[in-house]
Amino acid sequence: MADEEVIALGWQHRLMVRGARLWWRVRRPRTLGVRAIVEDGMGRILLVRHTYIDQWHLPGGGVRKWEATEAAARREVREETGADAAIVRLHGVFHNRSQFKDDQVVVYVARADGNVAPRGDGFEIAEARWFAAEATPDVGPATGRRLAEYRTGATAFGPW
């Protein structure tokens, strides 16, 4: 895919997200999402950079109807990064009301092969990369909180 096509797809996705946020403001739906703190055997964390928002984030997304949250986390990691992750443990369950919806977010700790070169999909994910756990790039506020909890080994619950 040419760079111009990736940029156009990124802008289309940004517009779709803005439309969804407007809909959420009106409807205030309840949603269920997952995120994964994906580690490798070398102490690195897998993060993604979206095409429609700034900063780096944990891979994740929505849970489909009839899908278990653990299966959704593995699917989202695979779709967003190309890595196959094995769930290690539950990190926590959080409540996110930042985008005008009632979002429950289940966060898992997972393990994946660090030799796999992650890749973005060019539409939703601009880039996926491994980072040293103590030297992550500019991450979103919630991602920063989840990584701080992860570093201390805490299981956490509460606001996103």
What is the reported pLDDT for 6?
47
What is the reported pLDDT for 13?
61
pLDDT per residue as tens, the chain (160 positions): 555 554 555 666 666 666 665 665 556 667 899 999 999 989 999 999 998 888 999 999 999 999 999 999 999 999 999 999 999 999 999 997 776 668 899 999 999 998 878 887 777 899 999 999 888 899 999 999 999 999 998 888 887 7
- Report the CATH number of the 3-159 domain: 3.90.79.10
Distances (CA, A) of 88 to 112, 131, 143: 10, 19, 19
The rounded distance, in Å, linking the Cα atoms of 150 and 39 is 10
Contacts (Cβ under 8 Å, ≥6 apart) of 105: 33, 34, 35, 60, 93, 94, 95, 96, 160
What is the reported pLDDT for 147?
95
The domain limits of the chain are 3-159
What is the reported pLDDT for 10?
60
Residue with token string 């055997």: 41
**How many Cβ atoms from other residues are within 10 Å of residue 25's Cβ?**
11
What is the reported pLDDT for 146?
96
The rounded distance, in Å, linking the Cα atoms of 49 and 119 is 10
What is the reported pLDDT for 9?
53
